[in-house]
Structure 1
Amino acid sequence: MKQRIITGVVGGSAFLGLIILGDLPFTLLMIALAAIAMWELIKMKRIQPFSVKGVVAFIFMFLLLVPENLVSMQWIHLQRLELFLLLIIVLLALTVVTKNSFSFDEAGFVILASVYVGFGFHYFMYARFLENGLEVIFFILTIVWSTDSGAYFAGRSFGKHKLWPEISPKKTIEGAVGGTVLAVLIGSIFIIFIPVFSSWIVTMMFMLIVSITGQLGDLVESAFKRHYAVKDSGQVLPGHGGILDRFDSLIFVMPIIYLLGFI
């Protein structure tokens, strides 16, 4: 527990400090976190990061991750997503050329993993560099962290009905509801001092969506770990596991709130 607290305080302070600082230091932090998360994910699949398969996975992920203003694709006269689709075709052709030593299953994993990690951290960067990006990011973090805390304490105090035992045996329906309730309460206090949206209805919808999809993102990562029979995604954060263990909710939330037009 002591190690967990020390890691949380030191790591959390550094993380929040770089968010506030923004610009290139924040961008480099996101790139580093995404790279570690991708490393953890392909290790679950037992793909060696420095193998051809591993390098291909990182190329796909960085293609979706890195902001356009940092690395432009105009020199090849293709939009970023067009290039991504082209590489998917090449990847599928590679399964034939290698006579399935690079299997269709591995190709599908590389594509899905790169979208999961790449887009997740990409839209975290996107949100930070909005005009009110700092307020938006801290609002999201407040909701996600309040949800985690509320779910933990409500689950321990009142949890009787399992939420999804095949995926995460310890999570309960009472915990999930408690997490969302606390997120809405803390989020409501937050916006009294730092209003993020002009409409109360939009704000309430935002809080509910972030809290619920954040919990879904946690279950998605739990499903990954259960499928690949690992306890933690990594050990980079002593007492907390890996980067995916800490950012699973956030990287699931960010693309969703972008697609829904909140950012």
Structure 2
Amino acid sequence: MDKNLLQRLFGGAIYGLLVILCTTPLGAKLINGLSPGLVQQQHLYYGLITFFLFAGAWECVKIMKFDPKSWEKWVVFPIIVFVFYRFSNRFFNQGFYYNYSLSEFLALSLIVIAVVTLFRFSKELYYDNGKLIFTIIYTAIPFSFALALPQFTSTDFSLEVFFLFVLIWSSDSFAFFTGKFFGKHKMAPKISPKKTWEGFAGGVILTMVAGFFIEQYHPDLRGNWMIVGLLVAVFAPLGDLVESQLKRTFGVKDSGKIIPGHGGILDRLDSFIICVPVVYLYFVLENLI
């Protein structure tokens, strides 16, 4: 078997296993089976998101090639710690009931502004202050919102984030295979040559079908998961295009090498980064109606 294929299979298996253990009750059950009462599932989830945040932020700093002498490079992580800490207090440590606030609206708006800047005004990101702002918005805010998605108590942990990953993986797979067999019209040939509108359409339809089955078998989850499937199928490709455009802007092939055969954290979580704020906003609106 090809060595690169073995690397991809091994890297993908480790990454998938880590996600499953930290986003479902399985992780805490396994650990507490060895040492009862050692950990709660929400602590594993918090650890996973924290790791993703700082690994992703480090990769973003490397991609954007800050001036080694600039002050901006040295304040990226203190600011990220501050932002993540503030969101953690609201979403994680004190519980959260989807009471929408102005700060969250502004944070979501900043993500939109950052994406528009990347595609339409990328020259602004050649300056270190622009790189600083983009890195914080692109990493700290989405991963902070991720803390609000699951519901948990001292004895229970819900599966919203696990099934979000399932839908993202499904969307990528469905779009790939539909595009491979039926794709003719390129979606963004300069940024991601393999993406086609036919693949996108197939991804939307089949991911909504996957969302339907999640909704049928897990009615306890927040929201309607056919709608979540639609949102994921639409915005997951955008997340991939955002990261591809970021790497293209700065002449980088992969965000890192932390996952053998798959690249870096940003390469694996590009869709997650964009889908999380969208799904969070949907849950808020659904709760208000």
CA distance in 2, matches of 1:238, 1:149: 19
> What runs of 5+ residues in structure 2 fail to find an aligned partner?
29-40, 95-102, 108-124
Query: In the alignment, which residue of structure 2 is the partner of 1:38?
Result: 57
By how many angstroms is 1:134 displaced? Answer: 2.4
Query: In the alignment, which residue of structure 1 is the partner of 2:202?
Result: 178
**Of residues 223, 229, 242 in structure 2, which corresponds to 1:220?**
242
- Tell me which amino acid in the other structure corresponds to 2:89: E
Residue 161, structure 1, aligned to residue 185, structure 2? yes
Query: In the alignment, which residue of structure 2 is the partner of 1:125?
Result: 147
CA deviations 1:12-67 (Å, max 9, x no partner) are 11221022242222212211111110111111111278974323111222222231
For these two proteins, the number of residue pairs brought into alignment is: 237
**Structure 1 length-normalised TM:** 0.79
**Of residues 244, 249, 253 in structure 1, which corresponds to 2:266?**
244
CA distance in 2, matches of 1:212, 1:105: 31
Query: In the alignment, which residue of structure 1 is the partner of 2:275?
Result: 253
CA distance in 1, matches of 2:8, 2:278: 30
CA distance in 2, matches of 1:51, 1:26: 34
CA contact (8 A) 1:37 1:243 kept: yes
By how many angstroms is 1:135 displaced? Answer: 2.4
By how many angstroms is 1:215 displaced? Answer: 1.4
CA distance in 2, matches of 1:203, 1:50: 48
**Of residues 25, 43, 47 in structure 2, which corresponds to 1:28?**
47
The 5 A counterparts of 1:135-154 are 135-154=159-178
CA distance in 1, matches of 2:18, 2:66: 31
- Tell me which amino acid in the other structure corresponds to 1:113: T
**Structure 2 length-normalised TM:** 0.73
CA distance in 2, matches of 1:185, 1:247: 23
Residue 56, structure 1, aligned to residue 75, structure 2? yes
Residue 112, structure 1, aligned to residue 116, structure 2? no
Query: Aligned-pair RMSD on alpha carbons?
Result: 3.1
By how many angstroms is 1:115 displaced? Answer: 1.3
Query: In the alignment, which residue of structure 1 is the partner of 2:35?
Result: none
Q: Percent identity?
A: 32
CA deviations 1:73-114 (Å, max 9, x no partner) are xxxxxxxx6xx99xxxxxxxxxxxxxxxxx992112211221
By how many angstroms is 1:130 displaced? Answer: 5.2
Change (3 A) 1:50 1:125: farther
By how many angstroms is 1:232 displaced? Answer: 0.9
Change (3 A) 1:56 1:71: farther
By how many angstroms is 1:210 displaced? Answer: 2.0
Query: In the alignment, which residue of structure 2 is the partner of 1:94?
Result: none
CA distance in 2, matches of 1:163, 1:104: 26
CA distance in 2, matches of 1:203, 1:147: 14
CA contact (8 A) 1:34 1:121 kept: yes
Residue 19, structure 1, aligned to residue 41, structure 2? no
Structure 1 range deviating more: 163-172 or 14-23? 14-23
Structure 1 range deviating more: 43-52 or 241-250? 43-52
- Tell me which amino acid in the other structure corresponds to 2:208: V
CA distance in 1, matches of 2:93, 2:77: 15
- Tell me which amino acid in the other structure corresponds to 2:206: L
CA distance in 2, matches of 1:253, 1:195: 21
Change (3 A) 1:48 1:193: farther
CA contact (8 A) 2:210 2:229 kept: no
> What runs of 5+ residues in structure 1 fail to find an aligned partner?
73-80, 86-102
Change (3 A) 1:230 1:181: same
